[in-house]
Chains A and B, each alone.
Chain A
Amino acid sequence: LPSLRLSPASLCLLTMGVRKRRNKKKSDPSTKQSTADPEAASAPAINKTPVSSPVKPCDTLPSDDSNKDLDGKRTTRKGLGHLLDPTEETLIGKDAKELMGILDTYTTKINLVEEQVKTGIKQVLEQGRDENINLNSGISLLEIKYQVMLSYCVRICFYLLNKLTGKSIKNHKIIDQQATLRVVLEKLRPINKKIKYQVSQLLRTATMDNPQDGQAKLATNPGSFKPNPTNLLKGSELADDSGEGIHSTQTETQTQTDAIYKPPKVIPMEAPMDKKEKRHMKKQQNLIKKANRNPLIQAMKEELSEAPSNITIGGHSILNDPHNKDREAYEEKNFKRLQVTKKDKLLAKKRREDANKGVLDSLADLDRITTALAKAGGPEGKDKSGRDDLAALRREKAIRSMEGAGAGFG
């Protein structure tokens, strides 16, 4: 971290502005007791800030709040640590203004979030007190989700606090914790998507008029929550009508008891392929593999690609030669060098020659390869190219015969 020596003016500006904003944040009715001490502390603190000692600047500022979700998730960070110009003061002054602006928006957003959270919590608490809800048998995924989010937000606040007070957070364990939490959140996202439908259905049954039917639905047939395409066709009115859902399940439950057990098809899956399709797909894949192995194609690829090229002989790279791997492993393990026998030398020579055999030797090879490729994966289809060639040949024959006839005459 580069340590800057700020002039007293800019230092005061920064610290004053920062402390002012911090006090403003804490001026909510709930936390008014705590404001007394910081306010008292801030006034002498400004005088106390030593001018001679260098202030370590934050290498990251709190991000532009437009990028923040309302539940406090951080998405981008900006860097500031490379200010080493001689015009430090002017630059810091500019950035200080930016900082003030950002902090303003931050406080307003935090107030918004606080209001929302408070109303939400109020609602939940009321409901909980009325009905004595037991949260143990809920969907554990959702519980994990909100716990993780909460801890993430708390750690963000801690991080911000450290940055605002100028403490370094270099090797703090909080960074690791934050990273793991973030990873967990990311992993929860696809799972969330998968169970979204089920959760919405559950909520619907929970808020239904006749709860007994809902319970019955849950107990007997978990497959009743499978995706229902008729909802798409008939429109949103019928989809919201809970009676429709119940009727469908009643018939289903009857059939379910009679018939064999079939696992509930809740998650969308691809239909299984029949033999013909499978065969066709495998054939295509094999042809593509063969074409890729062809040295002419590889040469073309290398020409056109911008990736760093690997020195190869006939498709096998020299550096990571698979034939040498076993020998090298043995040598390293047993600490002795093996002799390259005559047999090995002959084999290596043969391999090299075989590799170079496939390369283009004549125009006939090129013709053969291109026709093979065309048959393998033409954009139109399978044998259309063959038909075209035949037609072309026929045309040529006709022309030649005509010419010959003409020559004969003329």
Chain B
Amino acid sequence: MPRRPCVCKFMQNRLLNRKQMILDVLHPGRGPVPRKELRDILCKKFGVKNNKCVFVFGFKTAFGGARSTGFALIYDTLNDALNVEPKYRLIRNELGKKATGSRKSRKELKNKKKKFRGIKKAKVGAAGGG
């Protein structure tokens, strides 16, 4: 299973405590490489202990196949990642939880909570969830 990621435009972003780069992956003879695989490869390459600090996204395969380009971010600590990253990427990396229930139900719950103040809100939440 040959796949070779090539790191381009590498930069150490000290403001956000991360390393950001563009990944150019060559995968002739097979489809695009799954993100988890790429995460593991990057962990090995950069010596990252916690593979949940590595975020890989935005992959597009070039016309004709065999090559895809995307982005990768490697955070210094998990806390930095939790503070900076958007929710959907945290969910992809199993660091966040997706909101349960439909959109409508969530909005109804929110509107119910508006009527109460303080600890009583939690009671409404528990009752409404059931």
Q: Do residues A335 and B73 form an inter-chain contact, with CB atoms below 8 A?
A: yes
Interface of A is mostly: loop
Given A318-B63, A332-B9, verify A337-B22 contact (CB < 8 Å): no
Chain A interface residue count, CB cutoff 8 Å, equals: 7
Query: Interface residue tally of chain B, by bracket?
Result: under 10
Whether, in the assembled complex, B58 has its beta carbon less than 8 Å from a beta carbon of chain A, the answer is yes
What chain A residues lie within 8 Å of B63 (beta carbons)?
318-319
CA distance A318 to B64 in the complex (A): 12
Whether, in the assembled complex, A336 has its beta carbon less than 8 Å from a beta carbon of chain B, the answer is yes
What chain A residues lie within 8 Å of B9 (beta carbons)?
332
13 example contacts (A-B, Cβ-Cβ < 8 A) are as follows A318-B63, A319-B63, A331-B58, A332-B9, A332-B22, A335-B20, A335-B58, A335-B71, A335-B73, A336-B58, A336-B71, A337-B58, A337-B60
B67-78 vs A, Cβ < 8 Å mask (1 yes, 0 no): 000010100000
What chain B residues lie within 8 Å of A332 (beta carbons)?
9, 22
A317-333 vs B, Cβ < 8 Å mask (1 yes, 0 no): 01100000000000110
What chain B residues lie within 8 Å of A337 (beta carbons)?
58, 60
Q: Which of A45-84 contact B (CB under 8 A)?
A: none
What chain B residues lie within 8 Å of A331 (beta carbons)?
58
B46-82 vs A, Cβ < 8 Å mask (1 yes, 0 no): 0000000000001010010000000101000000000
CA distance A335 to B16 in the complex (A): 14
What chain B residues lie within 8 Å of A318 (beta carbons)?
63
Closest beta carbon of chain A to B56's beta carbon, Å:
12
CA distance A336 to B58 in the complex (A): 7
CA distance A319 to B67 in the complex (A): 14
What chain B residues lie within 8 Å of A335 (beta carbons)?
20, 58, 71, 73
CA distance A318 to B71 in the complex (A): 23
Q: Which 3 A-B pairs have the closest CB atoms?
A: A337-B58, A335-B71, A332-B22
What chain A residues lie within 8 Å of B22 (beta carbons)?
332
CA distance A336 to B57 in the complex (A): 9
Give the nearest-CB partner of B71 in chain A: A335
Known: A318-B63, A319-B63, A337-B60. 10 other contacts (CB 8 A): A331-B58, A332-B9, A332-B22, A335-B20, A335-B58, A335-B71, A335-B73, A336-B58, A336-B71, A337-B58
B1-32 vs A, Cβ < 8 Å mask (1 yes, 0 no): 00000000100000000001010000000000
Closest beta carbon of chain A to B59's beta carbon, Å:
9
CA distance A332 to B20 in the complex (A): 11
What chain A residues lie within 8 Å of B58 (beta carbons)?
331, 335-337
